[in-house]
Amino acid sequence: MKSYIIGNAAVVKSEYTHAQLLTIAKYRPDALVVKGGESGKDEIFSIAPAKDRVGSLSKFGACFADQGCDAPAAITITYDGPACKEKFADEYGAALRYIAQIEEGLDTAMDEIESEKAEVLESIEVIGE
pTM for the structure as a whole: 0.89
Strand 61-64 vs strand 56-57: parallel, antiparallel, or unpaired? Answer: antiparallel
What is the reported pLDDT for 84? 85
**Which amino acid, residue 99?**
I
37 confidence band (pLDDT: 50, 70, 90)? confident
Q: Is pLDDT above 90 for 60?
A: yes
CB-based contact 45:95 (threshold 8 Å):
yes
Mean pLDDT of 5-13: 93
Helix axes of 18-27 and 106-122: crossing angle, nearest 10 degrees? 70
What is the reported pLDDT for 11? 95
Q: Is pLDDT above 90 for 104?
A: yes
Least confident of 17-21, 59-63, 84-88: 84-88
Mean pLDDT over each residue of the chain, to the nearest integer: 94
CB contact set of 41 (below 8 Å; sequence gap of 6+): 35
Least confident of 14-28, 34-48, 70-84, 101-115: 70-84
